[in-house]
Amino acid sequence: MLKLNDLASLGQSIWYDYIRRQFITRGELQNLIDKGLRGVTSNPSIFEKAIAGSSDYDDDIKSLINEELSTEQIYEKLAVKDIQLAADLLLPVYEKTNKTDGYISIEVSPKLAHNTEGTISEAKKLYAEIGKPNVMIKVPATQQGIPAITELISLGISVNVTLIFSIENYKQVAEAYLVGLEKLVEKGGDLKSVASVASFFISRIDAAVDKELDLLGNNELKGKIAIANAKKAFQFYSDLIKSKRWEDLEDKGAQPQRLLWASTGVKNPHYPDTLYVDNLIGKETVNTVPPSIFNDFMDHGCILHTINKDVEEAFNQLDELNKLGVDLDSITKKLQADGLESFSKSFENLMKAIDEKISSIKTEKKRFRIFADKYQNEIDKAMMELKAERIVERIWEKDHTVWSEKPDEISNRLGWLKSPDVAEESIKNIYEFVEEIRGEGIKNALLLGMGGSSLAPEVFRLSFGVKEGYLDLTVLDSTHPQMVKEYAEKFNPKETLFIVSTKSGGTVETISFMKFFYNLTVAQVGKENVSKHFIAITDPGSGLEKIAQELNFRKIFLNDPNIGGRYSALSLFGIVPAALIGVDLEELVSRAQVMVCNSEGANCPIHGDNTPANLGVVMGLLAQKGVDNITFITSKELGSFGNWVEQLIAESTGKNGKGILPVVGEEVLEPSYYSNDRLFVYLKLENDSTYDNKVNELITSG
């Protein structure tokens, strides 16, 4: 990973926006440090997914349960231990860089964002409990947080100032740091012992501004304002460190408060994935990146000094935005407020996750078990091979050699790895669209699609039903004339939203459906109103996008083109229809993110509880042994899931003359009726015991 060292030679440090126990204890963090990583950041959302999505913390929680601690106190114990362990690993970096890098950040409770004294008190307590010099306490850049920054710096406590979006707010943060240093001088303190970074959030600005630009029909500035805003901030920083005031502090040993680029994961899947890394490289800056962006940058990121490039153009872009009537100050204020709300919700979810974990530990509840005694030795051996060859880690690194020597149809099909994170950024926009539709009295949604584009929406409809006041969703995925005729008679176009859904944008059946129902709707509502009843979900640049633009469809949802159809359940192909029937997308995506955490490379399939890795090894190994008929036994309410997973498994493994045959919807029989080629997967709701006895008979029979 020479890239990290090359980047450091240009003056930029890469920090890692991620933490979990096994990542620290099993050597992954140390491995990254050895290759040039210079710091780590954490937040409640990261801790929530790590605690809920793994067994990393189970032993510690078991030991804390009987200490009569509150949920928040238990969290603090878990987090402090992680921070201490990470700080110890980063200490050599801290010393080697003369206290410039090597920091690990931990956040004060988001509940204290508007409480100056509360923030100061908790920050002092955390700093004392952790007891490491290379720790930064994260404090939000709210009006109440600004004086807390000054006080903490004056006490010699290093601070990571978070949730900065605007230039004016950044100026307040910079002033707070300077005043804090000056107070520390007055106290006779050591300026060399304290540091700070100003975490300037990037991608969320483009997400918000792009929405305004869409309303104005302006595409020229899309994807540019966040970087322009950051470059303007860096110009202020450059001027500040040339001032006499700063030079006096620097002479006394003060370190500059570096700009840290945060929220650098690309929210728009149509932008280059390393956009907010490649374009913000400069001297005395930090970029904290999530694992997915880190891997993308290591694979194809650019090492060029870019922060001072095209600065005049950046200022012109900001001026042009202002001329268009887009109020960036209002947008950034709202982004900070939304960020605080999001952080607070993450903290609440974290507390719930710990409570649920405590409950499952007390009841010794296990959500996943394998019964395969006959093959256990071979399974254990296969798991060791999986670990030794770093298969899970390589999947997350998008290493095509896991599957084939050639990257064709692999490297450009792995967008599903970050579907939950991309989906999370789309939720607000989707909700606004759904409320608009509901407000117009539209009662039904008819999805026109085939295969992967239609299966997930159908699963959502059959599994969750329709929430009161939302649209009833039906899927048309058959070209049988009688079914098309039946749906044409069943749905009143005046009360129906037609969802034209195709990844390629050229699926003959889907386009034929669209033409038929479009003409039918024209006859009912007229040419002037027909477009209000049609939306499209497709890949950018597809034939459907062009058609939808020409026909002025009400909405065009452009999906990540790097996601294959059958892997699109948590992309726009799945979550837009799900929202229309009233599915709680926030809960859906949050649970998916927990499972992402469970499936990550840091969750060792042997020493951890990596459920997908364990299930995959069992399915693959047994298939090689001739046990290649996988039979799904499910609770009645989950029956439709089998239809979706059937296609997923059959199409994904049925290549090169070999594969696994999924069997769904079959009656559960006595063990004697089955041959030795069956692997059973029992998926049930928590309180459903319908098939427990029959499944136990299958387990007992081997």
Q: Hey, where are the domains in the chain?
A: 2-347, 415-583, 626-702
23 Cβ contact list (under 8 Å, min separation 6): 29, 602
Q: What is the mean pLDDT of residues 540-560?
A: 94
95 Cβ contact list (under 8 Å, min separation 6): 102
How far is it, in rounded angstroms, from Cα 554 to Cα 572?
16
How far is it, in rounded angstroms, from Cα 437 to Cα 642?
31
pLDDT at 86 (0 to 100) = 98
The CATH number of the structural domain formed by 415-583 is 3.40.50.10490
Provide the mean pLDDT of the chain.
Answer: 93
The region of weakest confidence among 167-171, 198-202, 573-577, 621-625 is 621-625
Candidates 608, 657, 671, 593; CA nearest to 628 is 657
The answer on pLDDT for 88 being more than 60 is yes
Note the pLDDT tens digit of each residue in 639-657.
Answer: 888 888 888 888 787 777 7
The region of weakest confidence among 103-112, 184-193, 309-318, 665-674 is 665-674
Which phi-psi region, left, alpha or beta, contains residue 327 (left: φ > 0; alpha: ψ -120 to 50)? beta
The CATH number of the structural domain formed by 2-347 is 3.20.20.70
- 125, 449, 458, 476 from 446: Cα distances, Å: 56, 10, 11, 7
pLDDT at 310 (0 to 100) = 95
The answer on pLDDT for 190 being more than 90 is yes
Note the pLDDT tens digit of each residue in 407-419.
Answer: 888 888 888 888 9
> Of all residues in the chain, what percent carry a pLDDT higher than 70?
100
Q: What is the mean pLDDT of residues 119-134?
A: 98
> Of all residues in the chain, what percent carry a pLDDT higher than 90?
79
Q: SS3 for 472?
A: strand
**Residue 222 bears catalytic tag:** no
**HSE-up (13 A, CA, CB side) for residue 65:** 16
Q: SS3 for 324?
A: coil
The answer on pLDDT for 102 being more than 70 is yes
Which residue in this structure is represented by tokens 């959030």? 201
Note the pLDDT tens digit of each residue in 418-465.
Answer: 899 889 889 989 999 999 999 998 999 999 998 877 889 999 999 999
2-347 and 415-583 have identical folds: no
Query: Quick check: pTM over 0.85?
Result: yes
Confidence of residue 340 (pLDDT cuts 50, 70, 90): very high
Complete edge-to-edge strand list for the sheet that includes strand 629-634: 661-663, 629-634, 678-683
pLDDT at 653 (0 to 100) = 77
pLDDT at 488 (0 to 100) = 92
pLDDT at 478 (0 to 100) = 86
Considering only residues 566 and 186, tell me which one the structure prediction assigns the higher pLDDT.
186
Catalytic residue from among 99, 138, 231, 418? 138
Q: Is 143 exposed, middle or buried (0-12, 13-18, 19+ CB in 10 A)?
A: exposed
**HSE-up (13 A, CA, CB side) for residue 650:** 14
Q: What is the mean pLDDT of residues 545-559?
A: 95
pLDDT at 1 (0 to 100) = 54
The answer on pLDDT for 106 being more than 70 is yes
Confidence of residue 66 (pLDDT cuts 50, 70, 90): confident
Candidates 516, 495, 543, 494; CA nearest to 448 is 516
